[in-house]
Each structure stands twice: as structure tokens, then as C-alpha cells.
Structure 1
Amino acid sequence: MSPNVEKVVTIQPVEPVNLRKQPSEKPEMSGQTFRVTHLSDVWTKMQTHRLSGELQLGDSRQRWSLFFLGGRLLFATGGQHRYRRWRRLTGQFAPALQGVQGAPETAWEYDVLTQAVEARQITQEQAQQVIRGAVTEVLFALAQAVTLAQMGVGQVRGYWDGEARLPGELLLLVVTEEWRRVEQVWQQWQEVGLRATSPDMAPQFHEKRRLEQRVNAQTYLTLSRLCDGQHTFWDLAVATGAQLPLVGQSLLALVREGYFRLQELEDVAPVLPEVTESAPKPVVACVDDSPACLQNVAAALGDQFNLVTLEDPLRGLGTLIKTRPAVIFLDWLFPQVNGLEVCSLLRKSPVLKDTPIVLLTANGGILDRARARLAGANEVMEKPATPEQLRATVQRYLATA
């Protein structure tokens, strides 16, 4: 979150900055830091310009990332309790993924959900529930941070990265109504007197014996089990099935009377995959609508490399970006698109812009080779290629990587 240029942009409710530009133009905030004074205006700017990329926001304590596609929110992550949130949401909606985590510098949650849906470990509905829960918690935290900044407590800054993309799409498009719903929850949280209290805090008993005399036996047992200093307000809302503001309101009086103390919790330690000593096999991709060609490539390369075979180039773009192959073999002709167009499209991806691409064709004349170079291909190989040619080509590009 350390951009090269810093600029303060104060967004006014009546006339938001740059909203008079056409949606096709880039907003001024691109490549610059800017101060966030009204979160709803930033949200409006995303939708007005139909932006795609990553919006990074943060204050002195927390950092959040919001990913957009065409002005619509796909996913949100970050904050103080990123791994606690993942454990809570997967435990509630997708238990099969509770032990699967990733490195904090990436949007690993979305990648895990995408792969799990593709592998049918979870349903798309389960993935969407986890995503919606993450979006709710992040937007709530942002609303609180911006509100406190308006009161002179801290400052929220943002940075727009128009090149960032998520590894795949689950097509959960969270529209304006989702932000409006979170705004209502935040408003209710303030109304019960918890404006400066984060729902990431955990209530812990301070006067346990005195409380036993104040509430009924069932309530006391519930509070004893959950208010142990290890369960946040978010956790309590899930455990009790109650709305977050209601949980806060129920406990606030007891906190003020001294029965509980609120304490901050550290995030749980991430469980990262164990690193094996053996180096992974390089990934090689072959995109061809001919099963015979795919079988030929698999027979030649399958033992030495992790082979990704795809018949539909357009549907397979997400897979190529996710797997990051060392070399891509790409057929020249497809029913609805040609390999030159696909090659040009791959070169627009930050992940694949430098990946060696070999176009496979039955006609490798001088003119075709020139057209292939202009489209971004590294070379043209005539079909059918022999196993020796395929292996030698891959080894040549790996040696120069």
C-alpha cells in the first residue's frame, strides 16, 4: 500500500470528485493515494466508472482490499481478524474448508473458494455465503473507521490498483443494496451506543458470581460458555443466531455495570501448507479443441510436467491465469475464435504477458509466422508435432526462464 504518488482527495456529497467524467475515463485516484471522507461516495465512483481492479483502504491499524469487476464488488478481505473471520465463516457455511488457508499477501480466500467449487468440495451457494459474510464484516469495519475519522479519530486512505485481478470468478456480484444493508447494521450499532467499539472485541467475565445472581440460569450458562474473552461479538452473533446490534445491545449494559470487560484479540495464526523438499514439476498448458492433439501432448509431456489441457480457450482463461504455466501450446483454429485473438488476449493479462506461447498450426508459412509474432506468440510449430519436438521446445523455454 505504498504508492509512488500521494494526493489527498476529499469527496464531497454534492459533487463527487471526477464523477462528471465519462465511465470510460480513468478517475484521478488511479495510481495515487487519496483520503476517504465519505465511503458511499467512493462506492458511487466505483459504480459510475465501472471500474475493475483492487481498492486498497486502510488506517493506522488495519488494511483492507476490495476487488471490483465492472463497478461491482466481487470480494473483500483484510482487517485485524482475517484468519478468525475465515475460520468463523467456513465453520458456519463451508466446514470442508476450515483448515485450508493461504499466504496473507494474496486474496487466497477467493482462490480457495473458486478451486473448491470447481472440485465440487462445496457448492457455489456455500462459497457465496462465505463471500457475503466477508464483505459484510469488511464493509462494517470500513464504515466504523470512516465514521471515526470524520470525528477526528484517525484517517482512512485509499489506493486504486486497476491492474489487480482475482484468480477466477464466482460471479457473486454484490450490488449497492449490499452496501445499504451494511450501512443499516452500522447505524443500528451506533444507536445502541457502540460507535467506538469494534465487533472484533471480545467480552470477558469480570464479576462472574455477581452476574449469576442478576440473570436467569439459562442466560448465565450461555454467557459463561461464550463470554470467555475468546469469542468476539461476531462470534456471539453466529453462536446465538441473533443480529449483531442486538448482541451488542444485550451485552452493553452488563459491560457498563462491570460484569464484563472488553478485550482485543490477536488474529489466529494462519495454517499454511507444509513446504516439501521436492521441487514441483513445471506446469505446461495445451489449449486445443482436438482430443487427438491433447492426447499427443499428454503422452509426450505428462510424465515430466504438470500438464493442463483445455478444449475451450475462452472458458479456460481463468485456469491459465490461476495455474501460471511455464509454456502454453495454443491451437491456431477454434470454432468461435482463432488462436491469434486468444494469444492477444493472454498478453493483456499481467500474469501471462511474458509466458512463452507456441501456436500450433497445420500451415506454418512465412505470413502466418509474421501474424503470430504480431499477436504476441513466441513461435509457430507445425502439427502434428513429435514428442521430441514438444519436449525440446519446453526445455528450451525453461532453460531461458
Structure 2
Amino acid sequence: MQGNLNEIDIRSILQLIELGQRTGQLFVEIHSDYKCSGLCVDEIDRHHDCGDRQFWFVFFLNGQIIYAANGDNSLSRLSDNLRHYQIKVQLDERELNQIRAINALEYAYLWMLLEQNIINPTQARSIIHSLVHETLFDLLNLQQGNFIFEVGSALTPQLTTLEIAPALTEMIKQVQNWKLLYPHIQSPDQIPVIADIVNLRSSLPAVTVNKLQRWADGKTSLRQLARYLNRDIVTLAKAIHPYIQQGWVQLLTHKSEKIPNLEENRKRCILCIDDAITICTAVESILRNQGYEAISQRDPLEALSLIFKLKPDLILCDITMPDLDGYEICAMLRHSQAFRQVPIIMLTAKEGFFDRVKAKMVGATDYLTKPFGNNELVILVEKYLLPFCIKSNKRDTPLVDSVKDRVKILSQN
């Protein structure tokens, strides 16, 4: 049996194999410039390439699936799945030569690990199921290509089999759910990278943010991440989808693509230290409307602790305060290597020449006299932050609990 996927789709081919209880091998081939539904085929997995084509194998026994593979003839998929069990692929030359001739290289290596008791049968079956589901997901997304089914002897030995009908039902549902994520997510091999750490930290538990930072490294694709976590690609994509919509996580198409400059894309943080609540409220309102992250603190002693925690990009500091005045705060910060270059703007009702000189002597960057207008504050802040600041008039959309629930997968591993 052979033909073109324009004439008969993958689902029908698999159903015919199941109905006829066939034993043999299905080979599917596409050219890299073909497109599939909601997914660019040449992005499905770039290491599938063999010249200008990509291909997949599915092995059957009496109408059931034994194993399925892509055509890269390497151990990269298996290596990613073994990582979940903290097992590294290690082959010496002798072992590699023994299994190189087998057209299912990773299947042979999996059996080698079983025979050496490095993995157990339950783990091996789970890995095979994951590999089969991943292959079916790719095949069911195809709209064009050629196929050949060859009746022949079964791949041996067999560790497990999967019935086609329930596997198809599950994977068709996954493909349908995958298409709902388009256009924000277009390929399993897109690479996530953090684009707005400030909003992530303010909206998610620290442990979840740490997980995102660990995996969204500009090197690990969504598909690899799903393998590492032993999850299907759609579950993982759904978990990260809300943050891609918000712009807090971005997806790269290639590992060579420039990683967004996180310093340029995050909101600039401004801390206002003033014991007057009216000043704090006004500063927060004015600057937040301009797209900044504005935070105020009325207690100068607590403000020092907050400064080292937040590491603000600019500090507005009143001069006359109880316990610790603005001059002392500025002098202390200038003695810290971390804050020697941070702009510090003094806020005071005093207009005397001596006060300005003293502010400069302790390291203040500039001086703003109270009361001040909206434009005065914004112009002075932009003088020091505008070259680096990304402005936005959009109001942040709070995450609902259901969205937070979707990232439990990242927190649990």
C-alpha cells in the first residue's frame, strides 16, 4: 500500500492497518517546504532533515503499534526522554557499531539499557508510548506527503503494543487543542525565553518563576521541555500559553535567533522614599500611568532593606525624614558597588543653594523641589531612564486562578 497524503490522510491509513491487522512498517515522507495545518513543517523538528526531506517510521504487529520514530537516526529524542529518569545516553564505539545497522536505533538502544538493568520495563514502556505519541502528533498535522506501507516481519523483540483506535482518539484531540494555541504558538520546536521577569515575579509563585527561568533559557525547545518533564506537548504549551499572550515569555524560531534583551523589555522600577503619604501616592500614580513600576516607602529604615531587595533603576528620595535623612541614605548607597551608578533624585521643599551643593557632595544625581507638577517629575525621570525604558499604556491584566493552575506542571518538576 502506497500513495499520497492528498488522496488519503494518516488517520485513514492507520485505521486500514488496524482493520487488516497488518504487520509491517509505515514510512511517511515530506519535502521540507510543505505546510501542515497550523504548523510549519520545516519547523516541526529541524534535526529530522535529510537533505530537503523529512520522514517518519511506524512499526506494527497485527494491527497494533509497537514503536514509532522520526528519521534523524540519532538518539536525541531518547536522550531527552531518559533525562526525566536522570539517565544519560552513553555509547562506546563497540556498542554503537552493534546497533548502528538497525533502522530503529533508539529502540535498539532502549533494549540495551533494559538488558543492562539501567532502566526497568515500566520506564521503557512509558518512553516508547511517549515516542509513539510524539510521532503520531507530527503525522496527524501533515496535509501533504507520500507514504509506503510494507508488509513484513515485526520489529523484535516487542516490549509493548498500542491499540490504534484509542491512540488516534487521544492524538486527534491533542492536535485540535494545539491548533487553538495558534498563532501565539506555532511549532513544538519554538524556543521559550523570558521577556518580562518583573510581571512574572509579581504574578506567580517564586518557585514557578524559578522553573521558568531555568527552562526558558533560549536553548531548550518546547518539545524538549515536554520530554524532560515527561509531559505531552499540548499540556506544556497550554501551561505557558498565557504568558506568551501577555508578552512575558517570547518564543524564538531558531537557537541562533537573538534572545530579547531582558533589560530593555522589562518595566523600569522606581522607588520613592518620602514620609508624606500624599507625595508617595502622587508619585506612584504619575509614574505608573507612564508605564513604570513605581513603589513607595515612607519609613527610611525599611526603605534601605527594600532597595537591596528590589534593586530599583531610579530612586526618588526626600531629604527631611525622621531617623534617617535623604543625605544619609544617598551616602550609604554610594558606598555600595551595586548602587554607585543608580540615579538618585532628591525631593525637598528646600530651594537653597547649600542644599543643592550638599546633595551633590553625597552623590545625588539630581534635585526636584516640592511641590512639583506631573510633567516636571516625568521629564526628570525620563532624562535618566528614557534611553533604556520601554513604555506601555496598556494596563496589566491580572492572572486568574485557572491560569495559575495551568503552570502547576512547571512547579511540580
TM-score under structure 2 length normalisation: 0.48
Query: Highest Rg: 1 or 2?
Result: 2
Q: Which protein, 1 or 2, shows the higher relative CO under an 8 Å CA cutoff with sep ≥ 6?
A: 2
